[in-house]
């Protein structure tokens, strides 16, 4: 079973993925996105782990030239390019994707379903794949500006789950079970850690450098790309990543 996980497309942002690129960053992202699809097309499942669009960006004061409906229609087209057999859309950061009553991920899920495509919308995705592999996906996770601290937040969530499962097992007498893999997004960098209690991952994004928020409030590298899981028979699973450089214009000022 092949599962592709993408996240943080932020469609609508001047520095993010677009079907209609207007600058070098968007052209670079679209080229990378198509390359990734060419390599991993028609997966059994495509998981979109939040922040499908960028929203109105009132707080960021970033120039966004597409309305929210235009953003979700463009995002829908970008997802259809994969030719996936199944789609899972996990809700993202409310600031970006909430339209009031529903989130954009739910709207795009409805569009996919109306076309006869298999699709699921959820706030947190917990699934047993191939009859044995336990996967948990949610969008939000804390970040760290310390390079060696980038694994801490996902590892902390993982161990809370292990402790909770052990406590529930003690109370119920049933066997404790927790995910083999926890997948988070939101932070726009790739990380992976694994031990005897399972694995935890933060996924790369599809937004490059150049937003006002990124320039003024963030530090560290941005990883652009996707992750593919391959789940076989019991105890046989693996993962791959594809990371891409994204062009950015020089910002040095000469005097």
The confidence score (pLDDT) of residue 211 equals: 65
Residue-level pLDDT at 144: 83
pLDDT digits (tens, 9 = 90+) for 184-228: 999 999 999 999 999 999 999 999 876 666 665 566 688 999 999
Task: List the strands of the sheet with 125-129, edge to edge.
Answer: 125-129, 133-137, 181-184, 198-202, 191-195
d(CA 183, CA 230): 14
**What domains are there in the chain, each with its CATH number?**
2-244 (3.60.21.10)
Are β-strands 133-137 and 181-184 bridged in parallel, bridged antiparallel, or unpaired? parallel
pLDDT reported for residue 60: 47
Q: Give me the pLDDT at residue 216, please.
A: 54
Identify whether the C-beta of residue 66 lies closer than 8 Å to the C-beta of residue 74. Answer: yes
Q: How many residues belong to the chain?
A: 255
Q: Is the dihedral of CA 164, 235, 122, 156 positive or negative?
A: positive
pLDDT of residue 111: 97
Where the chain has pLDDT below 50, the residues are: 59-63
Supply the pTM of this predicted model.
0.91
Integer CA distances (angstroms), 249 to 91, 93, 161, 225, 253, in order: 32, 28, 43, 20, 12
Quick one: pLDDT at residue 59?
43
Look at residue 217 in the predicted model and tell me its pLDDT. Answer: 56
- 138 SS3 class: coil
């Amino acid at each position: 079973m092949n599962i592709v996980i993408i996240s943080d497309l932020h469609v609508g942002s001047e520095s993010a993925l677009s079907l209609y690129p207007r600058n070098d960053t968007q052209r670079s992202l679209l080229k990378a996105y198509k390359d990734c699809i060419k390599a991993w097309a028609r997966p059994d499942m495509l998981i979109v782990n939040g922040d499908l669009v960028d929203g109105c960006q009132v707080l960021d004061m970033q120039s966004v030239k597409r309305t929210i409906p235009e953003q979700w229609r463009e995002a829908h087209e970008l997802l259809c390019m994969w030719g996936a057999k199944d789609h899972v859309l996990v809700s993202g950061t409310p600031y970006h994707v909430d339209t009031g009553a529903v989130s954009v991920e739910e709207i795009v899920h409805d569009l996919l379903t109306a076309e006869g495509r298999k699709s699921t919308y959820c706030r947190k995705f917990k699934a047993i794949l191939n009859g044995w592999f336990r996967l948990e996906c949610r969008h939000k996770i804390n970040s760290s500006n310390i390079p060696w601290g980038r694994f801490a937040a996902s590892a902390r969530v993982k161990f809370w789950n292990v402790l909770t499962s052990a406590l529930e097992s003690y109370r119920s007498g049933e066997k404790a079970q927790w995910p083999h893999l926890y997948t988070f997004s939101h932070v726009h960098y790739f990380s992976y850690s694994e031990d005897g209690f399972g694995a935890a991952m933060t996924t790369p994004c599809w937004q490059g450098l150049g937003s006002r928020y990124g320039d003024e409030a963030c530090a560290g590298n941005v990883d652009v790309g996707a992750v593919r899981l391959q789940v076989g028979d019991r105890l046989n699973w693996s993962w791959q990543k594809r990371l891409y450089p994204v062009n950015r214009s020089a910002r040095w000022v000469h005097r």
